[in-house]
Amino acid sequence: MLTKPYRPKINFPSSTTGKIANIIGCMAILFSLIFIAWNWSSLPAQVPMHFNGIGEIDRWGSKYEMLLLPVINIALFIGLQIVENKPHLHNYPDRINEANVEQFYKVSKRIINYTKNVCAILFAYITYEIVIMAQQERLLLNSTAFIVLIASLFIIIFAGIIKMARVQ
């Protein structure tokens, strides 16, 4: 017979680093919105919208299509914020109990918080690159910064998994 897993609802405040990360993530979203608005009139009708594995443009689209990036960024940010605030719904190992539940919740919240905010920075960076490429007619995405941001996501997730494995 299956029993319900131990998942109490615990409300604890966000950490200082989580609050700082949220401020940075919100600033990245705001930057992308302002950057698009500031540069809108100088954008050509067609802007780069997709890139291959080495950063070359392989699809162009209307500049209005670019507005989807901040919309997706905001939706992702809000969605992950909701998930972050409900740690009792996250997935945990069977060894979660009264003694370690708060540790598991904090680690899980931190993983989602940092992931959410790095994604916000990543979307803002992609928006920035698209605008710059469209204006300067450059044909290559700066892959170093992109790789660093993607690597950051993996590091956050793997570090979180390691921290969860260390919870007693």
3-state secondary structure 95-150: CCCCCCHHHHHHHHHHHHHHHHHHHHHHHHHHHHHHHHHHHHCCCECCHHHHHHHH
**Model confidence band, residue 51 (pLDDT cutoffs 50, 70, 90):** confident
Q: State whether residue 14 is helix, strand or coil.
A: coil
Q: What's the chain's average pLDDT?
A: 90
CA-derived radius of gyration, the chain: 19
Distance (Å, whole) CA 30 – CA 22: 12
According to DSSP, the residues that pair with 51 across neighbouring strands are 57
Average pLDDT (38-66) is: 89
What is the reported pTM? 0.89
**Confidence (pLDDT) at 10:** 87
